[in-house]
């Protein structure tokens, strides 16, 4: 238990929605839409609608737990409380590879800026924003949120403009799902498209990492996730509908969203779209990602799963050492030109395993938090709750299988070495007696 800080330093609902929305709208909508068109054809918008739904079901454990608890440590705290400290420790160390997401973002920013302004080297264009938002995050979560709100608003306006202009130019028969070009590769292609797109539909759950910094977390965190889910449902469906129907399939299949944008906009507006669309999508993810990605690792560090000195904070409450590690793990691959595909491949398995742990934890909410759950504003009958839980777990396990299959033997083996090495580190520290349970959490209390 812990006394709360003054509300003046806390995050309100608007800031939480901006953080959640900016976190989930990343490179996925820009880069994977064209790949999904190659699988689904003009039905890509239907695949995105189902992907948003499944992504929301994946993160329902976080929504439900956030409605009954105010906690510090993000999903590490959730897994520890519901599944036990050893499961929580494994979650924390297996989350470390997610720091490479910063490198993915930096590389993407550099590539997009270099595309529209060739005079700026891609490496410089990627590193400068990383340095800037590293410094901003060192100044505290409130300043980060103040930057996030206008950038997220501008990003949403830009994607909405793409959708509106694109829909006004779609080809005849675009809403006729029986027309040529729909379900290009049949049911297998459609479901492959869903699996591909689903990875860009669950990032808003990371806003739960700000539960301890929120004014009214048990209401506002779930609402922020729900609102951002509605935002991405509308934007993703509208944008992908326009992208899949404004040009012939062969012109956009496998291509980034910028191909359709170049056809739709004049040169000036095309440049504005790239800056306010893809670049801002990545920058908002970068800005909120420092705190969001650090929360589960920081929770584990404070409990001894990693050396505790790296949890040191500055006068603004920012974990300066962890933020610096995150910055370096992001900046070094950008400086050496490591490809996005390579970076993504190194995070696939640990990302899916940690997601599975969260879904397993969901089953324990009615047992471990019975009184608080029964009073939750999101409470539902047990049969419905367990049906949703089973669906979330089943789809996560299937995603692990598909991810492992897509990596190939060599990259899958490397991923498993990382999983075993990090798991071994956690076991060693546990057996050495370095671990202690000290979760900051308030369950079932008034905000």
* CA–centroid distance for 416 within its chain: 22
Q: What's the whole-model pTM score?
A: 0.86
pLDDT string in tens for the chain (447-residue length): 444 445 667 899 999 999 999 888 876 787 788 888 988 999 999 999 999 999 999 899 999 999 999 999 899 999 999 999 999 999 999 999 988 888 888 888 888 888 888 999 999 999 999 999 999 999 999 999 999 999 999 999 999 999 999 999 988 888 888 888 898 888 888 988 888 788 788 889 989 999 999 999 999 999 999 999 999 999 999 999 999 999 988 888 888 888 889 899 998 999 999 889 889 989 998 998 899 899 999 999 999 999 989 999 999 999 999 999 999 999 999 998 887 677 777 777 888 899 899 999 999 999 999 999 999 999 999 999 999 999 999 988 888 887 788 788 888 899 899 999 999 999 999 999 999 877 878 887 554
The DSSP symbol for 443 reads E
CATH code for the domain defined by 7-71+104-293+362-409+433-443? 1.20.1740.10
**Domain ranges, ordered by start, for the chain:** 7-71+104-293+362-409+433-443
Sheet strands (E) in 272-366: none
Q: CA-CA distance, 157 to 224, in Å (whole number)?
A: 19
Closest C-alpha to 39, from 273, 228, 195: 195
Cβ-Cβ contacts under 8 Å for 197 (sequence gap 6 or more):
28, 32, 33, 36, 47, 48, 51
> Helix or strand or coil: residue 23?
helix
Q: CA-CA distance, 423 to 12, in Å (whole number)?
A: 37
Give the helix ranges, DSSP H, for 59-140: 60-66, 74-83, 85-94, 101-116, 122-138
Give the helix ranges, DSSP H, for 95-216: 101-116, 122-138, 141-167, 186-198
Q: CA-CA distance, 77 to 315, in Å (whole number)?
A: 24
Please say whether the beta carbons of 247 and 263 come within 8 A.
yes
To 10 degrees, the CA torsion angle through 393, 399, 404, 408?
170
Identify the helix (H) or strand (E) that includes residue 441. strand 441-443
Tokens of 340: 């996005």
């Amino acid at each position: 238990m812990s006394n709360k800080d003054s509300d003046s330093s806390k995050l309100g609902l608007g800031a939480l929605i901006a953080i959640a929305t900016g976190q989930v709208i990343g490179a996925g909508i820009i880069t994977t839409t064209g790949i999904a068109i190659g699988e689904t054809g003009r039905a890509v918008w239907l695949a995105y609608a189902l992907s948003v739904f499944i992504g929301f079901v994946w993160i329902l454990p976080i929504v439900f737990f956030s409605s009954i608890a105010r906690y510090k440590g993000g999903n590490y705290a959730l897994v520890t409380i519901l599944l036990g400290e050893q499961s929580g420790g494994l979650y924390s160390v297996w989350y470390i590879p997610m720091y490479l997401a910063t490198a993915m973002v930096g590389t993407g920013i550099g590539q997009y800026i270099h595309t529209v302004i060739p005079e700026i080297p891609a490496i410089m264009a990627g590193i400068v924003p990383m340095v800037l938002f590293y410094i901003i995050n060192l100044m505290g979560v409130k300043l980060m949120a103040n930057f996030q709100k206008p950038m997220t608003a501008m990003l949403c306006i830009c994607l909405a403009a793409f959708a509106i202009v694109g829909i006004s130019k779609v080809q005849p028969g675009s809403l006729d799902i029986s027309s040529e070009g729909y379900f290009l590769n049949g049911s297998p292609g459609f479901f492959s498209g869903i699996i591909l797109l689903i990875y860009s539909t669950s990032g808003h759950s990371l806003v739960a990492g700000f539960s301890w910094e929120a004014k009214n977390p048990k209401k506002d965190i779930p609402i922020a996730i729900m609102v951002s889910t509605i935002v991405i449902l509308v934007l993703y469906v509208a944008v992908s509908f326009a992208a899949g129907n404004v040009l012939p399939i062969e012109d956009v299949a496998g291509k980034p969203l910028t191909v359709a944008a170049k056809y739709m906009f004049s040169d000036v507006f095309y440049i504005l779209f790239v800056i306010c669309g893809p670049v801002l999508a990545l920058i908002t993810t970068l800005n909120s990602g420092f705190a969001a990605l650090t929360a589960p690792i920081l929770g584990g560090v404070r409990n001894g799963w990693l050396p505790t000195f790296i949890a040191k904070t500055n006068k603004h409450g920012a974990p300066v050492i962890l933020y610096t590690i995150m910055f370096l793990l992001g900046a070094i691959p950008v400086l050496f030109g490591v490809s996005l595909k390579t970076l993504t491949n190194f995070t696939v398995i640990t990302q899916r395993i940690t997601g599975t742990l969260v879904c397993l934890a969901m089953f324990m909410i009615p047992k471990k938090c019975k009184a608080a759950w029964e009073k939750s504003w999101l409470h539902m009958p047990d049969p419905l709750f367990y049906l949703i839980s089973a669906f979330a777990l089943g789809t996560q396990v299937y995603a692990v299988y598909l991810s492992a299959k897509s990596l190939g033997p060599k990259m899958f083996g490397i991923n498993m070495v990382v999983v075993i090495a990090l798991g071994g580190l956690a076991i060693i520290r546990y057996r050495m007696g370095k671990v202690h349970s000290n979760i900051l959490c308030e369950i079932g209390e008034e905000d």
